[in-house]
Chain A
Amino acid sequence: MESIIDTAKLELTKKDFESDQMVKWCPGCGDHAILKSVENVFPELGIAKEDFVVVSGIGCSSRFPYYMNTYGIHGIHGRAAALATGIKIANPKLSVWMITGDGDSMAIGGNHFIHVARRNPDINILLFNNKIYGLTKGQYSPTTPKGSKTKTSPQGSFEQPFNPGELVMGARGKFFARVVDTNIKMMTQVFSEAAKHKGASIVEILANCVIFNNKIHGLITSRETKVDNQLFLEAGKPMRFGKDNEKGIILNGSHLEVVTIGENGITEDDLLVHNPEREDSGIHIMLANMMPPEFPAALGVIRSVAAPTVEELIWDSIEHEKEVSPYKCVDDLLNSGSTWSVD
């Protein structure tokens, strides 16, 4: 199959992807920074501008396609994964980007979300997780923490939330990464990793809704606390974090634990070394589940395992059938089997 990465220099810039439409997100919304990061990444991928397709469902984040100067389709609530799958299978040459939120993908589109992870088409999924319904003005979502007071949970939510990363891996997804909307450099780097991964690449963006759920990720993103609460994972490197990089993660028996290097005889050699390519998702799930205050939030590429994509398998099968099938055209098929002639 033709590679989506064209090595010839295409000389594209951010400008090539900026649309002329007015961006209507609230001032201070995390989505602005995400848009900027995507505009940074697209020109760098070596993909012709007409080969990008941006697909979305419904919600604040799902207005995204209108703000990019690419091919785009703004779908219906929860169904972006199905739209994107159809586009990618029909034309594997396209670079397909799906924009979704926690309501769109975890609630109404939960079914499509787990199946896109399982099916593994080569698409990139940016999941804006602000843990609230923004466009309908402040109802709890499937990622809203239990006990949160929202318009539809005035006594506090009674429901335990999903953790998107855990869901992806439970659905046997091959790629999961997490970023914060406050770090454009991190988003740019990780989106680029997601683009290069062949398969369904799911990136959870901890996004801030300035109106209905302000600072929901504050412990992880605020200037004062972020160094102690962010662990940026890098393949082959020990898991270190903290103001002076003095803390680390070890595997203690069957669970993870935060340690301080130099204390209790701990050295860097004791720390877990990140291996995103490990097929077994056990450690990856534990990493995805780490949350402050007990743990830092794991950021970066948590899991990236090579596997054939569904469109590769389908198109390989088509090529094979073309060679072996006795039917070269529909006339052959119509005249196959039991037929008779009248003269």
Chain B
Amino acid sequence: MTEVKNKIIELKNAVIRFAGDSGDGMQLTGNLFSDSTAFAGNDFATFPDYPAEIRAPQGTVAGVSGFQIHFGSNDIHTSGDLADVLVAMNPASLKANMNWITKDAIIIVDDDAFTEKNITKAGYEDNPLSDGSLNGHLVVNGPIATLTKNAVSELDIDNKSAQKSKNMFALGMIFYMFNRDFTKTFSFFENKFKSKPLVVEANKLVLKAGYHYADTIEAFVNTYKIDPAPLNKGTYRNVTGNLATSWGLLAAAERSGLKLFIGSYPITPATEILQELAKHKQFSAISLQAEDEIAGIVSTLGASFAGALPVTSTSGPGLSLKSEALGLAVMTELPLVVVDVQRGGPSTGLPTKSEQSDLYQALFGRNGEAPLIVLAASSPSDCFYSAFEAVKLSVEHMTPVILLTDGSLANGSEVFKIPKVSDLPKIYPPIVKENDPHFQSYKRDEKKLSRPWAIPGTKGLRHRIGGLEKENITGNVSHSPENHQLMSKLREEKVERVSNFIVNQDIIGNPDADTLVVSWGGTHGVMLTAVEQLLDEGHSIALAHFKHIKPLPKNAGEIFSRYEKILVCEINLGQFVNYLRMRLPQFIYKQYNKIQGLPFTVAELKKEFIALLNE
């Protein structure tokens, strides 16, 4: 719904995609625009789209790096389906992104980059700027490289260095288009290039030049304004899922009084968690880059035995390698948090693309009856709370927890309301006091069935644990048939009883609808947006989005019983829906699956939901 006033059009929300060669600084450009978006008070979400290779051949489609931002005056839950504005710094980035923009998107290109050589490298036969293929789009075609050079002609700076700022020229144009203020961006330049005043000056000049250029040539028919979003009172920041996961773990360490230990091996897209935690030794957080995935989890389990808050981070193939050690964690009933940032599989699969296909592995991927808690984070900022909860449940219930996030949560960002750590729940590790006369290593808490945590170095509690079956209560090695059956049931029951300690499943949308759509993990934003739009359009529909996978919330069955039609949507071939069929077989579930290394779009979900509503 738009309203024209003096060429400034008010929009509810917009999507911009910045694209260029991997060396063109598009991630920085996107981040600077995000900062100014925050400063303007909008809600927003972002997603980077970069190649798996570090520096793929320049000028090719394989080497295109992109950054998408969706911002608005309403609540924003996704980084947007299609872009309304595309900034394409070369022919390859235009080509790579034509499928990701709206039919009437505005396209800003650097005319200087559309040389015959670059056009060929991108795989075009003719110049797309002149062959009519962009008909329907408003193309703003400026000689950005030349204008960048001119903008800094007064400075003592060579052209090669000057060209590094040409992304700022494009950003300046976008700033003009969305009536943005420079203040935040200028102070960023001043901080980032503190020791290089010339670079600060060049970036400022180029940004302003882009802004004035757009104004002077009347590049856009209109300019746009997006009002601040009605955010609650508080302090906000932008976080990616991996950052939020790391900080949630640190907050949990503080609330539990335990020292965090992360033993991990680098793997895309989980590596940032190890990198982030390695920075924070001031909180006594210990990080060990292990020699492999197995040593990552096993050193962490050792640290758990020794009384640390144990964390290991990985992605699908790494989780496979950790399976045997997860079994040891189940048997020794020690705390252990495994963060699995899912990516496309099997094997090496699609390392930089996202998928929800590790659910079976998380639930079932071990020898023996080896139950553990499985949680799934639902958004970049929810990674903070999910990581916190993973620690709380693992420590208080003395069981390993697998926290599933995914590549799109890990690298995607959104606005995060900063909590006060003291407002988060306290975490109570069941640590045994020295010389406790009643201590027995496998004597269980009556409510939780958790065993006590007796930490080496404590007087009077010497005991042995390990991978061999343990006798109930005493913890001695036991091969007794009855004991093994009892212990197998106790381990399962311990995990199921966690449902007494988690929140009930909630429902969004119309409680009286006869259609329920179901999802879990990283698809929350897009599912919510699709359902909200359908509700706005007058449809009757409800959404149940799961964060607790094992155990399921206690009211899950009661919720399903209220609906005639249930559709489970996942980025895999149907792992959660089959789990539901196993756990709650009394209901009939339909399924919608996509497995292309891409997230759902709002448009495709709405189409699917409407078809179901009309059935």
**Hey, which bits of chain A sit against chain B, CB under 8 A?**
19, 21, 48-51, 53, 55-56, 58, 65-66, 68-76, 79, 81-91, 93-94, 111-112, 115, 314, 317-318, 320-322, 324-325, 327-331, 333-335, 337-343
Contact = CB atoms under 8 A, between A and B. Distances in A.
B37 to A, nearest CB: 10
A334 B288 contact: no
12 contacts: A50-B462, A53-B305, A71-B456, A75-B467, A76-B324, A83-B299, A89-B286, A90-B286, A93-B457, A331-B421, A334-B418, A343-B233
B431 to A, nearest CB: 13
Which among A73, A337, A343 has the greatest number of chain B C-beta atoms within 10 A? A73
A338 B35 contact: yes
B250 A330 contact: yes
B465 A318 contact: no
Given A50-B459, A75-B328, A335-B235, A94 B421 contact: no
Q: For chain B, what secondary structure do more than half of its interface residues adopt (helix, strand, loop), or is it mixed?
A: mixed
Given A55-B302, A74-B467, A115 B283 contact: no
Given A314-B286, A318-B286, A334-B419, 17 more contacts: A56-B466, A71-B462, A71-B464, A76-B298, A79-B325, A83-B305, A87-B456, A90-B306, A91-B457, A112-B294, A115-B291, A317-B281, A318-B281, A330-B250, A338-B238, A339-B236, A341-B235
Contacts of B259: 90
A50 B302 contact: no
B462 A94 contact: no
B234 A342 contact: yes
B466 A75 contact: yes
Interface in B141-195: none
Nearest to A70: B462
A91 B418 CA distance: 33
Nearest to B302: A86
Contacts of B383: none
Interface in B274-317: 280-284, 286, 288, 290-292, 294-295, 298-308
Q: What are the nearest 8 A-B pairs in CB distance?
A: A74-B466, A86-B302, A325-B282, A86-B299, A90-B303, A82-B298, A72-B464, A71-B456
A75 B324 CA distance: 10
Given A72-B464, A74-B468, A86-B263, A330 B283 contact: yes
Classify chain B: how many residues form its interface, as a range. 35 or more
Contacts of A112: 291, 294-295, 298
A340 B235 contact: yes
B237 A339 contact: yes
Contacts, number: 203
B421 A91 contact: no
B280 A83 contact: no
Contacts of A21: 476-477
Interface in B399-424: 418-422
B600 interface: no
A91 B464 contact: no
Contacts of B234: 341-342
A90 B261 contact: yes
B465 A74 contact: yes
A315 to B, nearest CB: 8
A321 B459 CA distance: 31
B464 A86 contact: no
B306 A91 contact: yes
A65 B302 CA distance: 14
B257 interface: no
B467 A330 contact: no
B466 A90 contact: no
A329 B299 contact: no
Interface in B417-470: 418-422, 455-468
Which among A51, A74, A84, A320 has the greatest number of chain B C-beta atoms within 10 A? A74
